[in-house]
Amino acid sequence: MQISTNQSISPVTTEINKEGNLSIGGCDLVGLAKKYETPLYVLDETTLRSICKDYKEAFSPYKNVNMMYASKALCTIATSAILAEEGFGFDVVSAGEIYTVYNAGVDMKKVLFNGNNKSVSEINLALELGVGRFSVDNFLELALLNELAKSKNKIAEILLRITPGIECHTHEYIQTGHLDSKFGFDLTQIDDAVSLILDEYSNLKLKGLHAHIGSQIFETKVYHDEIEILVKELARLDEKFGLQLDEINIGGGLGVKYTDKDCPPSTYEIAGIIIESLNNSVKKYGIDFPTLFIEPGRSIISTSGVTLYTIGSSKQVPNGKKYFAIDGGMADNARPSMYQAEYTASVANKPDAEISQCVTIAGRFCESGDVLIQNIKLPNLEEGDILCVYNTGAYNYSMASNYNRVQKPAMVLVNNSQSDIIIERETLDDLISHDRIPDRLKK
């Protein structure tokens, strides 16, 4: 089976350079840390484009495919521009993501607006900027979207998001397709929703169905089950309502390799299963081949990203763990404290050094749970060493906070030995730029 980029822990351009340091995109990581300071998010353009090409090649046997990048994984103007160049559309979930892709010059007809509680202002923005699809999550949104579209004399093309009742084996917080979920219409509610669209909501045009079964998925059978349910529903709705719906959105969720014990399927394996399942289900239920929407996020962006930290203080617990602290932690990578996520790391300034100890990498923030990596085997560490944590492209910057009033890191894009800032490091003035003090408190 052909491998794909999501099955690699490190970016595809990772190497040890002639100075003996780790290099990504032809850029010395120690040099990047010195030039831009740490913590520093580093994104490899070659790796990002590589996984895009993997997806397009893997799904090329199916003639009607729309690749939609799940922006929540990482949304910046630069990454949006690259993904648009690679032919991707965008799954967005907020006004901020809509505005970001719009300012990246994205064709807004290739944007789908998802989310379980869209606000009036967000829907209005999406309508004004010409977002191509709305994935409608509930009855309130149906009524609200119809009302707002009517006020603008527009027809909003929609998918109904459903919960297919599939529970994948991933962290409970990132399961979204099981029955007890905050997302989507239950299968028993679909007919009522369709009746409302046909009888009352004349400014909505139903195009198909949308389901998303979770994130960091390693199983393959779940995609077969999901497609079976969606195609069966298209056939049933056509027979009952004469709709001839021709779109299904199966979401994303393909996993990545954070550690050696992770074995995610390749894009090629997943594509083969999805295409085979579509062929079988379409034949079984007697419908035309629908347009397929797929929404990879983590598997598109994660492997291309690393985060650089500087080693600071250390502590040996008597008869216990050896801790080394870094200059970042849970505010720039919330996943270990939220999901018990695990990571792999190297020492960028001595990647070839002998592995000599098992240590725990602790963050700098005022929480006992701010531990980035438990029990990792590394060379002898010293203050000032540069730690490179792999596979941090997804959900690290997008979930970052200013906890402890610490500034968010910068992000650089590397390619062909060139580095470019794509997100500026926050300054202290940035931190207080939105603070206001009432006149009555001023001295």
384: number of Cβ within 10 Å: 10
Distance from C-alpha of 401 to C-alpha of 426, rounded to nearest angstrom? 11
Burial, 417: exposed, middle or buried (Cβ in 10 Å; 0-12, 13-18, 19+)?
A: exposed
Distance from C-alpha of 252 to C-alpha of 295, rounded to nearest angstrom? 4
Distance from C-alpha of 69 to C-alpha of 378, rounded to nearest angstrom? 35
How far is CA 198 from each of CA 155, 194, 202, rounded to the nearest angstrom? 13, 6, 7
- 75, 358, 366, 388: the active-site residue: 366
Mark whether 366 is an active-site residue: yes
Task: Indicate the residue type of 345.
Answer: A
Collapse the DSSP code of 335 into the 3-class scheme (helix H, G, I; strand E, B; otherwise coil) and give the result: helix
In DSSP terms, which residues pair with 248 in a beta bridge?
209, 292
Both structure tokens of 153:
């004399």
Distance from C-alpha of 357 to C-alpha of 378, rounded to nearest angstrom? 6
Collapse the DSSP code of 46 into the 3-class scheme (helix H, G, I; strand E, B; otherwise coil) and give the result: helix
How far is CA 40 from each of CA 1, 326, 426, rounded to the nearest angstrom? 35, 12, 12
Distance from C-alpha of 396 to C-alpha of 339, rounded to nearest angstrom? 12
In DSSP terms, which residues pair with 69 in a beta bridge?
90
Distance from C-alpha of 345 to C-alpha of 165, rounded to nearest angstrom? 37
| DSSP letter assigned to residue 433 | T
Q: For the residues of 282-306, what is the DSSP string, one character each?
A: HHHHT-PPPEEEE---HHHHSTTEE
Distance from C-alpha of 394 to C-alpha of 391, rounded to nearest angstrom? 7
Short-list 247, 310, 237, 317, CA closest to 278: 247
Distance from C-alpha of 214 to C-alpha of 91, rounded to nearest angstrom? 15
Distance from C-alpha of 186 to C-alpha of 209, rounded to nearest angstrom? 12
Both structure tokens of 105:
């010059």
Short-list 261, 215, 257, CA closest to 73: 215
Q: What are the catalytic residues?
A: 366
